Structure 1
């Protein structure tokens, strides 16, 4: 063998070895990425426990408060991993935001909503599900809240793992109900309130879907299918952005900022009307400037909806931080209140350090585990563009206002995901309708085979069934888990 042949074989072997090493490094990085996330989450939970120890180290219930703080941090991480995807998913799926940009905006606005407007005054037991008078003692109440907090966190964690966006508020409600039943029997539950929550499982996603589909139909009829799309957009985009601005102004005035100033529904609608008209007037010249030089095609229209979509995602995150975070850390605040004062029969405020746990936990959970659910909501249920995603965001805000007016306890998760489904099913119906019209205009056109029609479905049925099933069983599953945990905690403590 010549020296050249030997060198060639040596280099070939070296290339193969380097290729194997490169593949091994990629595989190690892929396997290690979840471990990094879990490691950082564990560090956050431990730091939370240490902070609680420093704050309450001299009290007699230090261990209880530290455990509750740890459970609260775990719950906040799961909210970030699951619930926030509903606000950011449509914007990411429509390519109006990158994944990194969405995470940054959500982390900032979720935290701002929780800290600025999230100091909600919650009842002793979340949302009036359980009558406080049914609790036998302070210890029983604390055990019930511990079980509710841990069970809801475990359930949201499981739902995130299987890829189902669920309601953290309903998880907490289920946890409180299950622990209350285990502690005081079925008579302790306010079944009228539970009936309203059960009704919201159906009403909120249907309402969100119908409103989103209605706006998408309007955009198609008034802009997309017009001969001069750009001229139509100059007329209607300012109106649509004005409606969005007015709706979010009402939404934030009524829901997100109610802790800073007292706002009832008529005042909130008046504020929304004023903001909407002002935004409409401002957007007329802005839209004209943006539309200059655009080609008369659908792709050009996406430019006009990009910025409103980003703003709507940020505002939805702020309102979510102001409302859902308080619901999620409510049991932790209840435990702190009962441990510090022995009082669990009156309303109480959520301490700032508890809200900090919620705010930072959401940010960490979103950064470490949120991208998977964001992709599912944004692109794997149905294909979204800026116009469809705009309809989803606007529908979420309008549905919350309507539900608040009707007095229905709705879930922002159900509304947003229901709106995504509504957009997808409307696209299916509209596409089928256009195909029928085309077949009628061309009688000799061959019919589409059944298998091909199934392939053209624009909503993934597997995701639809998984998500709906998770919604239906959230409250009973969290309740059952909470009851088991309460029995276990009371046995250990007793």
Structure 2
């Protein structure tokens, strides 16, 4: 009975992480469309939520990587998975609080690594998998997006250089609806699978699925797709502001180039099974589209803060995941520790949000505008 209770809590926590992933990463797909007035905020969020849901059904390659390529599946217990999820949720909420785009993917992977390390030691961490599937893509993907978006915007400006600005902007805004849709689909394909992989890993640890017969149950796919789409629809407005207006003053052509290059890279990574950070990709694309116009167009101070959040994500979420697992073990190996830690986390989140609500009203959807406020 205790193991069943732990499994239920783990599944609920995984879906809670999936929800935070959705609202934390909403900006990745739609911030540029909102900033350039290609779409209204609510229409963009709705479109992104629907396509996040649809994208979750396209592929399961990333789910397999998360379930089998980071931590040895045979060594994982549901409590280890719980600790990793707490690490990921805590980091997502912390970076959202400060409006910093960070990687939900790396938060989840870091949390799992930290929890497994405290529980079983370094031997259960698949170092080659972490380097090949996580660290190298984290370095390559934003760099590639930076280059591709930079080249794309130079080509775009060359093609339309003699056309009237009004006609050009209208055309690229229509194009942004397409590229924004593709990026939302790509986000659902890559990010929802991470939660699928984690829940499947918990089912393997619980004995519901044989380790040598990896498959993702249909109910896991549907629940994960639903959670991330609901999170996306709730809208992470703080990070949307950072991504859409504080890195560069964006025009529709730049938004089109950043989204298009990002969507192509994320869809390719999903096909190959890489749990890519969509945050890294779109941030690299936005910076590349700005820097190609002129280096001073990029607010490098904001970019530096984002880069710092990237660097801190894996180690910080790993520490939190390890601490969360350690707290569960204070009360023994049964379900008591997991239940108490879950209640503690819920209480801390409620207290934090309650204090912010007492200080002032919640941030609402940003008004779509072509002009960007100074940072």
TM-score past 0.5 threshold: yes
Structure 2: give runs of 5+ residues left out of the alignment: 334-375
Q: Give distance in 1, aligned partners of 2:273 and 2:220.
A: 28
Say if 2:26 and 2:45, in contact at 8 Å, map to a contact too: no
Residue in 2 aligned with 1:188?
124
| Structure 1 position 105, deviation (Å) | 0.3
| Structure 1 position 89, deviation (Å) | 1.1
| Structure 1 position 382, deviation (Å) | 0.9
Say if 2:67 and 2:73, in contact at 8 Å, map to a contact too: no
| Structure 1 position 347, deviation (Å) | 4.7
Distance change (3 Å), C-alpha of 1:312 and 1:120: same
Q: Give distance in 1, aligned partners of 2:59 and 2:122.
A: 32
Report whether the alignment pairs 1:298 with 2:165: yes
Q: Give distance in 1, aligned partners of 2:274 and 2:201.
A: 24
Q: Give distance in 2, aligned partners of 1:198 and 1:191.
A: 10
Report whether the alignment pairs 1:333 with 2:236: no
Residue in 2 aligned with 1:128?
69
Residue in 1 aligned with 2:344?
none
Q: Give distance in 2, aligned partners of 1:172 and 1:165.
A: 15
Q: Give distance in 1, aligned partners of 2:283 and 2:77.
A: 34
Match of 1:76 among 3, 6, 18: 18
Report whether the alignment pairs 1:478 with 2:345: no
Q: Cα deviations across residues 293-351 of structure 1 (Å, max 9, x unaligned)?
A: xxxx222201222222102211221222122111134222322343253x563353333
Report the number of matched residues.
332
| Structure 1 position 368, deviation (Å) | 3.0
Q: How does 1:37-56 map to 2 (within 5 A)?
A: none
Report whether the alignment pairs 1:323 with 2:190: yes
Match of 2:232 among 353, 357, 366: 366
Say if 2:88 and 2:108, in contact at 8 Å, map to a contact too: yes
Report whether the alignment pairs 1:218 with 2:57: no
Q: Give distance in 2, aligned partners of 1:348 and 1:192.
A: 20
Q: Give distance in 2, aligned partners of 1:105 and 1:375.
A: 18
TM-score when normalising by structure 2: 0.80
2:289 aligns to what SS in structure 1? helix
Residue in 2 aligned with 1:278?
none
1:383 aligns to what SS in structure 2? coil
Distance change (3 Å), C-alpha of 1:124 and 1:104: closer
| Structure 1 position 132, deviation (Å) | 3.1
| Structure 1 position 100, deviation (Å) | 0.6
Distance change (3 Å), C-alpha of 1:82 and 1:124: closer
Distance change (3 Å), C-alpha of 1:325 and 1:409: closer
Structure 1: give runs of 5+ residues left out of the alignment: 1-58, 230-296, 430-456
Q: Cα deviations across residues 177-213 of structure 1 (Å, max 9, x unaligned)?
A: 1122112212222222222322333221111011101
Say if 2:26 and 2:235, in contact at 8 Å, map to a contact too: no
1:493 aligns to what SS in structure 2? coil
| Structure 1 position 401, deviation (Å) | 6.2
Say if 2:179 and 2:263, in contact at 8 Å, map to a contact too: no
| Structure 1 position 120, deviation (Å) | 5.5
Distance change (3 Å), C-alpha of 1:71 and 1:407: closer
Q: Cα deviations across residues 377-407 of structure 1 (Å, max 9, x unaligned)?
A: 1222112222111101121133346667998
Q: Cα deviations across residues 209-260 of structure 1 (Å, max 9, x unaligned)?
A: 1110101111122322x3xx2xxxxxxxxxxxxxxxxxxxxxxxxxxxxxxx
Q: Give distance in 2, aligned partners of 1:298 and 1:95.
A: 15
Distance change (3 Å), C-alpha of 1:169 and 1:313: same
Residue in 2 aligned with 1:458?
297
2:294 aligns to what SS in structure 1? helix
Say if 1:309 and 1:386, in contact at 8 Å, map to a contact too: yes
Q: Cα deviations across residues 248-301 of structure 1 (Å, max 9, x unaligned)?
A: xxxxxxxxxxxxxxxxxxxxxxxxxxxxxxxxxxxxxxxxxxxxxxxxx22220
Q: Give distance in 2, aligned partners of 1:402 and 1:339.
A: 33
Distance change (3 Å), C-alpha of 1:397 and 1:427: same
Q: Give distance in 1, aligned partners of 2:46 and 2:97.
A: 23
Report whether the alignment pairs 1:490 with 2:329: yes
Q: How does 1:95-244 map to 2 (within 5 A)?
A: 95-114=37-56, 116-117=57-58, 122-123=63-64, 126-133=67-74, 135=75, 141-196=77-132, 197-224=134-161, 226=162, 229=163
Residue in 1 aligned with 2:338?
none
Say if 1:99 and 1:371, in contact at 8 Å, map to a contact too: no
| Structure 1 position 121, deviation (Å) | 7.8
| Structure 1 position 363, deviation (Å) | 3.1
Output the aligned Cα RMSD. 2.5
| Structure 1 position 359, deviation (Å) | 2.7
